[in-house]
């Protein structure tokens, strides 16, 4: 299949209306979208991504007033978060409306919903007029895409169209919060920090036991996810000088003196975690393409978006225990 790139939202909407899949820009990462209420279209997402059917999809809506189309209940605490953070990088898991196909939710009684904050994605939702199911536009378990080029690298020969909305502004996926009644818990850290959420609704549970593939509470939490092909070692003590003859790369969250490495990525020159988040996946894509034997990565400070980045870094390194 030859993948076209377009800036025209009507081309993307035409594919959605015809039951196809299309890569769409959001503020977090690119998504691979299809019509939520068309199970055949949704099955094409799973096929293109080689995604196991036990991993449910996030449903994107244009505004909070679309929520009844997909969810059956909206507890007050969830509503408070939605009012503060939608549109934005927050997914809320709620009891599902029976109209949502089981394929979208992998048979779960709940559905993950968010209102994306990207003008191009908003235009697509308005023109299409229906909720769009979309996981990230990458092959299952691999690095998330924050540019059109990233989408093409992994899915270029598997999908027909990418809607170009420029590089993603946030750069990490949405935070997923699940509500069972008024009790919220974070299933996946993401673009909204735990501190920001707790400032609105008070303490949230975060401890989710590591899940096996048979227990898909939030498969973004499988230990190996967001993985490059190059082994990553996380270490607080990156040697200042590289070992000669070894093509190793380093991923630094802020500037530090290192020398002799085959590749060096610095995520934020002024120690800003939002900037580091924005640069995280692009830096990993570049390092992964650089023919390195190993990537040495330093951990992020364990607060704010640093927690999200540590989560992604650990999952990216989990395929290669050190």
Give the CA count within 13 Å in the CB-facing half-sphere of 271: 4
Residue 101 binding target from ligand TXA, Mg ion, none, CB below 5 to 8 Å by type:
none
Q: Which pair of structure tokens corresponds to residue 136? A: 């990230």
* Nearest distance, CB of residue 43 and Mg ion, angstroms: 18
* Nearest distance, CB of residue 158 and ligand TXA, angstroms: 16
Residue 56 binding target from Mg ion, ligand TXA, none, CB below 5 to 8 Å by type:
ligand TXA
Could you say which DSSP state residue 27 is in?
A: S
Cα(255)–Cα(313) distance, rounded to whole angstroms? 18
Say if residues 78 and 92 touch (Cβ distance below 8 Å): yes
Q: Which CB, 131 or 216, lies closer to ligand TXA?
A: 216
- Number of residues in contact with Mg ion under rule CB under 5 A: 1
Backbone torsions φ then ψ of 132, nearest 5 degrees: -115, 120
Q: Which CB, 100 or 250, lies closer to ligand TXA?
A: 100
Q: Which CB, 134 or 292, lies closer to ligand TXA?
A: 134
Position of minimal CB gap to Mg ion: 136
Cα(176)–Cα(280) distance, rounded to whole angstroms? 19
* Nearest distance, CB of residue 215 and ligand TXA, angstroms: 11
Helix/strand/coil for 49: helix
Kindly tell me the sign of the dihedral angle through the C-alpha atoms of 184, 188, 192, 198: positive
Residue 111 binding target from Mg ion, ligand TXA, none, CB below 5 to 8 Å by type:
ligand TXA
* Nearest distance, CB of residue 19 and ligand TXA, angstroms: 20
Query: What's the distance, CA 25 to chain centroid?
Result: 12
Q: Which CB, 25 or 249, lies closer to Mg ion?
A: 25
In the region spanning residues 54 to 83, those forming contacts with Mg ion, defined by CB under 5 A, are none
Q: Which pair of structure tokens corresponds to residue 194? A: 């735990």
1's CB contacts (< 8 A; 6+ apart) are 157, 158, 159, 160
Residue 318 binding target from Mg ion, ligand TXA, none, CB below 5 to 8 Å by type:
none
* Nearest distance, CB of residue 197 and Mg ion, angstroms: 20
* Nearest distance, CB of residue 123 and ligand TXA, angstroms: 16
CA dihedral 78, 117, 107, 110 (to 10 degrees): 10
Say if residues 91 and 97 touch (Cβ distance below 8 Å): no
Cα(95)–Cα(197) distance, rounded to whole angstroms? 20
Q: Which pair of structure tokens corresponds to residue 192? A: 């909204």
| Residues that bind ligand TXA in the complex, under the rule CB under 6 A | 26, 28-29, 31, 55-58, 89, 91, 93, 105, 108, 110-112, 134-136, 173-174, 176, 187, 216-220
Residue 29 binding target from ligand TXA, Mg ion, none, CB below 5 to 8 Å by type:
ligand TXA
Q: Based on the number of CB atoms within 10 Å of its own CB, is 2 exposed (0-12), middle (13-18) or buried (19 or more)?
A: exposed
In the region spanning residues 213 to 242, those forming contacts with Mg ion, defined by CB under 5 A, are none
In the region spanning residues 118 to 137, those forming contacts with Mg ion, defined by CB under 5 A, are 136
Residue 110 binding target from Mg ion, ligand TXA, none, CB below 5 to 8 Å by type:
ligand TXA
- Binding mask 132-171 toward Mg ion (x if CB under 5 A, else -) reads ----x-----------------------------------
Cα(279)–Cα(267) distance, rounded to whole angstroms? 6
> Which residues of this chain interact with Mg ion, rule CB under 5 A?
136
């Amino acid at each position: 299949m030859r993948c076209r790139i377009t800036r025209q939202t009507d081309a993307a909407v035409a594919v959605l209306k015809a039951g196809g899949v299309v890569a769409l820009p959001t503020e977090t990462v690119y998504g691979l979208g299809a019509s939520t209420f068309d199970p055949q279209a949704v099955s094409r997402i799973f096929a293109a991504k080689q995604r196991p059917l036990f991993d449910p999809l996030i449903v994107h809506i244009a505004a909070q007033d679309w929520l009844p189309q997909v969810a059956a209940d909206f507890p007050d605490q969830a509503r408070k978060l939605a009012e503060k953070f939608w549109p934005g990088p927050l997914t809320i898991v709620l009891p599902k409306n029976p109209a949502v196909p089981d394929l979208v939710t992998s048979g779960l009684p709940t559905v993950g919903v968010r209102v994306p904050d990207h003008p191009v994605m908003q235009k697509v939702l308005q023109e299409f007029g229906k909720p769009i199911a979309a996981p990230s536009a990458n092959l299952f378990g691999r690095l998330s895409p924050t540019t059109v080029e990233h989408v093409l690298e992994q899915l270029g020969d598997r999908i027909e169209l990418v809607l170009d909305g420029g590089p993603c502004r946030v750069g990490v996926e949405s935070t997923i919060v699940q509500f069972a009644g008024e009790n919220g818990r974070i299933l996946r850290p993401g673009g909204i920090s735990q501190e920001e959420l707790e400032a609105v609704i008070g303490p949230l549970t975060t401890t989710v036991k590591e899940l096996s593939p048979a227990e898909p509470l939030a498969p973004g939490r499988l230990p190996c996810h967001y993985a490059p092909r190059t082994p990553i070692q996380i270490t607080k003590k990156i040697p200042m000088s590289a070992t000669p003859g070894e093509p190793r790369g380093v991923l630094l969250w802020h500037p530090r003196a290192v020398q002799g490495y085959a590749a060096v990525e610095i995520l934020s020159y002024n120690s800003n975690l939002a900037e580091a988040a924005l640069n995280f996946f692009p830096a990993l894509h570049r390092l992964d393409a650089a023919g390195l034997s190993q990537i040495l990565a330093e951990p992020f400070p364990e607060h704010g978006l640093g927690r999200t980045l540590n989560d992604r870094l650990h999952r990216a390194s989990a395929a290669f225990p050190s």
